[in-house]
Amino acid sequence: MALRLATRFDPAEDVLPWLRAPRAAAGAGGPGGGAGVLENNYESLRVLNVERNGNIIYTYKDDKGNVVFGLYDCQTRQNEHLYTFEKDLQVVSCSVNSERTLLAASLVQSTKEGRKNELQPGSKCLTLLVEIHPVNNVKVLKAVDSYVWVQFLYPHVDSHPFPENHLLLISEEKYIEQFHIQVIQEDGNRVVIKNSDHVPRQRIAEDFVWAQWDMAEQRLYYIDLKRSRSTLKCIQFCADENFNLMFEAPLDISLSDSGFRLVNFGCGYLQDQEKLSKYLTLCVFTNRTGSLCVCYSPKFDSWEQITYSVFYLHKGYSKTFTTALGSAHSQVTKGITFLNLDYYVAVYLPGHFFHLLNIQHPDLICHSLFLTGNNEVMDMLPPGPLQLLSGSLVLDWCSGKLYRVSLNQSYLLGRLWDTRLDCEKMALLHCVLSCGQDSEFLEAQIIQWISENISAYYSFDPIQEFIIASSYWSIYPETSNMDKLLPYSSVLAWNTVHSAKNYWEKLNANLEYVKYSKPLLHYNNSVVRREWHSLISEEKTGKRRSKAYVRNILDNAVKVISNLEAKNSEPRVTPLLQEEDSHQRLLVGLMVSELKDHLLRHLQGVDKKKIEQMVLDYSSKMLDLICQILETSWRKHNLHPWVLHFNRRASAAESAVFHIMTRILEATNSLFLPLPPGFHTLHMVLGVRCLPLHNLLHYIDSGVLLLTETAVTRLMQDLDNTEKNEKLKFSIIVRLPPLIGQKICRLWDHPMSSNIISRKHVKRLLHYHQKQPQRSMIDKSFSVEFLPLNYLIETLTEIESSNQGLNAFIGHDNVDAKFVEEAALKHTTMLLGL
C-alpha cells in the first residue's frame, strides 16, 4: 500500500470504555450514562467536528434516545461531557469554543414523517448557542427552513481567555455570517453570554455555491457566481478579530448547476454511495511551503473514463488528467478522493487507479507517480466511504475512525526495486526522499538499489538524481525559497523512452498546461567550472592569483571536510579524504564560495551565518553521498586496504567497485560536482589493476583516469622492473604533467627513467644556450667513438662550466654532462639488447 493510515481516533477504544466505566452508585444516571450504555445502539456514536486544537466533538444517543455531545481531548486523551439534548434530534453541525464554555449546534428533528422541529415549530433546522461552563442558558441563533453549519474561530494566540468569541454560520441559502459573542464571568467560574438578546453579526460572503474551511490556518475559501464564472476567493481571519480578502482567482470550471457543497465544515451526513460517485469533488490544498492547489473532478458523464484537473495556483498553470476505467461495465461505486500529503496530492479511485501528484515541482511530469489496476490499490484505503477533513485527516464513515494519512516509505522503496518503468523509478526516488523520516535509512536503501542496478540502462542517471535530490532535501526545511534557488533534479526535460512509450503517449495526450515564465534562479556550477579551469591553467604556467585568494578557497574546503567528518561518528573503510588532493579541494572551495554568494543575493533577511552553515551542510552532503555509495560497494564486496597496492591481481569484486567509481565520475563530471579528495587516486589504482594496458592508456588519455602524484608514486614503488611493468611505467611517466613527472622519474632507478631525466636536463640547458667558440673541456678519457654524442657532451660541459648555467639549474639532483652520457649509453644498450 502506497499510503500509511495512522489511527488518530477510534471511538471503540477512545470513547466506549469511558462510557462503560462503572459509576458511583449515586451517579449511575450521570452525564456519561450507566455501565451498559450504548450496548445496543453503539452505531449512533459518530464524529461531528475536529477543532483547530485537535479536540474531537462526537455525539451519541443514550438509552433514552437523548442526544449527547462529548469531547475527546487529543492531548490528555480524556473524554468530557459537553451537553445533552433531551429530544430525539439529528445533529447537522457542531462546534465548541477554545475555552469549552460555549457550544454551537444545528439540529433537526429525527422523524420518518419529516424533519419538523418541536423546539421551534415551522422551521426545519434550529441553530442553538449553549452556555456549558457550567450548563446555563440556551440561545436560538437561527430557526430556518434550510440547513445551517456552525464553526467557532480559534485565535492564533492560545492565550485568549475571554472576552469575545467569533462564530461562523454557513447557511444552505448561500450566505456566511460571523457572530461576535461577548462573554463575562460570574459567580466564580460561571461563564455567560453578555447581552444575549443582541449578538452582533456581519455578512462575510453571499451567493456562493461551494466553500471550504481551512481549520489549521483559519482561512475560508469560497466560490461565487456573480459574474457568471467561477471565481475562487480566500478570506483570512486574523488574531485581531478582523478578516481580509487575500486573493481572487478565476477557475476554468462550471459550477452553475452543481448544487451546494461544503468541505471541512465538520462531518456531514452519509450520502448515498451511488450519488456520491456521480457528484463533483472540489477541494483546496495548501502546505507550509506556500503551495496552493485546487483539485476538481466534475460529475461523471461516463463509466468508461474519469477526468480531473489540478490548478497549481502557486505555479500559474493547470493540468487535466483523463484516466480510462476499462469498460462501460466497470461500475464506479465511490467518488474520487483527493488527499493532502504535504508535497504531494494523492488522487484515489478504489479498485481503479492511484495517482501521486508532485505539487511542489509539477513542471516535470516524471516526478509524479501514476499507478493503475486493481492489484495496485485495491486494499489501500478502508472499503467504506471517506470524508476528507483538514490537513491529511480522513474520516471512515463505517467505523467512525479518524486517520492521519502519510506516504508509506516501505511500499515506495519496494516499488523502486520492482518497477520497470523509468518514469516510475524517477517519481519513487523523489517520493522516498521527500518523506523526511529516517533519512539515513532511506539513503542507505537507495544506495543499495543503485549499487545492485549500476549496469542497468535508464533514461536518467540515478547517481546524479540521487546526489542532487538528496542534497536538496537535506537543507530544504531551512527556508521555503530553496526550491527556487537550488536544483532539485538533474533532469531538465523528460525524453520518452521505448519501454514507456505507450504510457507516456496516452498521458501527454491529456496534459494541458500554461507555462509560467519566471527568472531562472537555480544555482549551477558554470561559474565554478570557469574559475576552476582558470586556476588549474595558472598553476601549469607557474602563475597563480594572490595567496590570500587561494588560501580562502582552500579554507572553505577544509571547513566542508571537517563538517563532513564531524557528522560521521563511525570510521569509514573506504580510503578517502586521506589525501591532500589540491585540485579537488579547490573545486570544493570554489563551489562553497559561489553557492554562498548565490544564496546571499537571493535570501534577503536571512542571517549570514545561517546561510554559511546551510552551504557547508549542502556541500558536505554531496561529498558524503558519494562516500556512502563507495562505502556501500566496498563493504558489499568485502574489500580490504591492500587494494591500494599494485602488486596484486584484480578480483571480480574490485572490478565491480571500479565500474561503480567510473559511473560516479561520469555523473559528477557532467554536473561539475566535486569529488572527495583521494577519489582519483583510488580510481587510478583500481584501473591499473583491472584494465589491460591499452584500455588503461585509453582511459587516461580520455580523462577518465587522472594521474595523481600519490597513485603514480605507489606504482613506481610497488612494481618491479619486469618487461611488462617497465612498459607500464614508461607509458605512465610520459603522460605525467611536467611538475609531477620531475618528481616521479627520480623514484624509478632504471635506464629509461635516467634517459627521460637526461632529455629534460639537456632541453633546459640548450634552451638558454648561446653558442660561443670555446676550447673543449671534455674529459677525453671518457669519450667514445660516437661523434654526435661527443659533440653534445662537449657542449653541455661548456654550459655547465659557466656560473650562469649552473646557477640557473641548481638543485636538480646530480644531473650533469657525465650523467647524460651514461644514461644515453645505458639506454642505447638496452634498446639494442646488448
Mean pLDDT of the region 207-218: 89
In a domain, 360, yes or no: no
- Maximum Cα interatomic distance, the chain, rounded to a whole number of Å: 137
In a domain, 204, yes or no: no
Q: Percent of the chain at pLDDT above 70?
A: 73
Contact status, residue 494 vs residue 511, Cβ threshold 8 Å: no
Contact status, residue 603 vs residue 481, Cβ threshold 8 Å: yes
506 closest CA partner among 228, 782, 294, 305? 305
In a domain, 234, yes or no: no
In a domain, 344, yes or no: no
β-sheet bridge partners, residue 812: none
Q: What is the pLDDT of residue 496?
A: 40
Distance CA 536, CA 558 (A): 19
Instruction: Tell me the one-letter amino acid at 630.
Output: L
58 closest CA partner among 75, 79, 38? 79
Q: What is the pLDDT of residues 262-282, one digit of tens each?
A: 898 888 654 444 444 456 789
| C-alpha 587 chain-centroid distance | 26
Task: Quote the cell numbers at residue 77.
Answer: 486523551
Q: What is the pLDDT of residues 474-501, one digit of tens each?
A: 888 777 677 778 888 888 655 444 333 3
Give the 3-state secondary structure of residue 605.
coil
Distance CA 84, CA 103 (A): 11
Distance CA 535, CA 543 (A): 9
- The number of domains in the chain is 1
Q: What is the pLDDT of residues 503-553, one digit of tens each?
A: 333 333 333 322 333 445 778 888 888 888 888 888 777 677 788 888 899
Instruction: State how far the alpha carbon of 665 is from the alpha carbons of 217, 583, 661, 668, 675, in Å.
Output: 47, 15, 6, 5, 8
Q: What is the pLDDT of residue 518?
A: 45
Contact status, residue 626 vs residue 679, Cβ threshold 8 Å: yes
In a domain, 771, yes or no: yes
In a domain, 797, yes or no: yes
Give the 3-state secondary structure of residue 223.
strand
Task: Quote the cell numbers at residue 537.
Answer: 591553467
509 closest CA partner among 324, 332, 353? 324
- Edge to edge, what strands does the sheet with 337-341 contain? 337-341, 344-349, 353-358, 369-372
Distance CA 162, CA 98 (A): 10
Instruction: Tell me the one-letter amino acid at 556.
Output: N
Q: What is the pLDDT of residue 89?
A: 84
Q: What is the pLDDT of residues 779-796, one digit of tens each?
A: 544 455 554 556 566 666
Contact status, residue 399 vs residue 8, Cβ threshold 8 Å: no
Instruction: Give the position of cell 644514461.
Output: 823
β-sheet bridge partners, residue 353: 349, 372
CB atoms within 10 A of CB 42: 15
* Ordered alpha helix ranges (H), 637-703: 652-671, 679-690, 693-701
- Burial level of 613, CB count in 10 A (0-12/13-18/19+)? middle
| C-alpha 282 chain-centroid distance | 27
Give the HSE-up count for residue 264: Cα atoms under 13 Å, Cβ half-sphere: 27
Contact status, residue 690 vs residue 658, Cβ threshold 8 Å: yes
Buried b or exposed e, range 727-741, using 16+ CB within 10 angstroms: ebbbebbeebeeeeb
Angle at which helix 582-602 crosses helix 547-566, to 10 degrees, equals: 90
In a domain, 509, yes or no: no
Q: What is the pLDDT of residues 704-737, one digit of tens each?
A: 999 888 888 888 888 877 878 878 887 887 787 7
Contact status, residue 765 vs residue 805, Cβ threshold 8 Å: yes
Domain that holds residue 781: 753-834
Return the higher-pLDDT residue of 259 and 588: 588
Q: What is the pLDDT of residues 319-348, one digit of tens each?
A: 999 888 765 455 555 678 899 988 899 998
In a domain, 805, yes or no: yes
β-sheet bridge partners, residue 354: 348, 371
Rg of the chain taking only CA atoms, in angstroms? 38
Instruction: Tell me the one-letter amino acid at 414.
Output: G
